Amino acid sequence: MTTETLASLSEGDVLSRIFPRLPAASAQLLGPGDDAAVVAAGDGRFVVTTDMMVHGPDFRLAWSTPHDLGWKAAATNLSDVAAMGAVPTALVVAIAAPPHTPIEMIEGIADGLRDCCAALAPGCGVVGGDLSASATLTLAVTAFGDLQGRAPVLRSGARAGDTIAAAGVLGEAGRGLALLFRQAVTNDGTPDAGLAEAVRAAQPGLIAAQLAPSPPVGLGAVAARAGATGMLDVSDGLAIDAGRLARASGVAVDFDSGQLGDDPDAVLHGGEDHALLATFPAGTALPDGFRALGVIRDGAGQVLVDGQPHDQRGWDPYRGWDGAAG
């Protein structure tokens, strides 16, 4: 049987194959087919964010299935919308792929986008995008969200005395990635699909946390309604992202080591968790799904653990995992 590739199909053919697989958005007034979509803007404002995934620095085809890629591309953007206290409403997706790419891969990506939206942000859908050719498989997603009449929750709102809390899993994505680099590469360091499948079978939770994360998207709006003063998505590591919140707010984030679990280093410095890190006024009952990690103190952009300065090492796209801030 001959494999259909992107080069054997026209752009119109490819679109006709993936449009039926993509989810419609509840806020969609006009979907794919024209030069642009039309989406309802809720209370008259919308939150917008964008993120890219590039083969090599962001994923390995030997490790990720097409469904994983679509899921993760959606999840990382949905989490950013949630971190503003908004409800995701629509995605715009651009895919650049080598012409020899089998059409089944693009269909699988579309299925991942659909399933992630259905699981993490019901009502959010894909309203448009673009297709192009490239030597490197690249996915770019732009996400929109509805604040539902609330003020956005910013990184700059934390105040001394606030409780710092998290929702979602911390540390497992980084542990999953480390496991793949240890056990799913050949002797010369090349990622290997067969080895990756064995690792996935042995540690499904850790590998899913890295390749197809499930951030607590719905808890962003919950935190906003509960009075969160500051919030952000933990994508590059808890320590480095906490430092960003600390600098934006002009405070110090002081983590209680007793709340960081059995592997504090993985929790503090593992990346791609896509948990939500939020601050709440002292005495506020934390919403279900959030757990206290420490307290906000007077300071100037510091990250502390048990009152002692801690490095803000995490992921930087230009410096890798050894980048430290502050």
Q: Which residues are annotated as part of the binding site?
A: 35, 49-51, 58, 80, 129-130, 155, 233, 235-236, 272, 315
SS in 3 state form for 12-72?
HHHHHHHHHHCCCCCCEEECECECCCEECCCCCCCEEEEEEEEECCCECCCCCCHHHHHHH
Which parts are annotated binding residues for ATP? 129-130, 155, 235
CA angle (230 as vertex; 213, 142 as ends), nearest 5: 45
Which parts are annotated binding residues for Mg(2+)? 35, 49-51, 80, 130, 233, 236
Distance CA 273, CA 237 (A): 7
Which parts are annotated binding residues for substrate? 58, 272, 315
Contact of 177 with 210, CB cutoff 8 Å: yes
Residue count of the chain, please give it: 326
H helix or E strand, kind and range, residue 89: strand 87-97
Q: Supply 293's token pair.
A: 């990690």
Contact of 278 with 228, CB cutoff 8 Å: yes
Residue recorded with tokens 């490239």 = 134
CB atoms within 10 A of CB 201: 9
Sign of the CA dihedral running 74, 78, 79, 81: positive
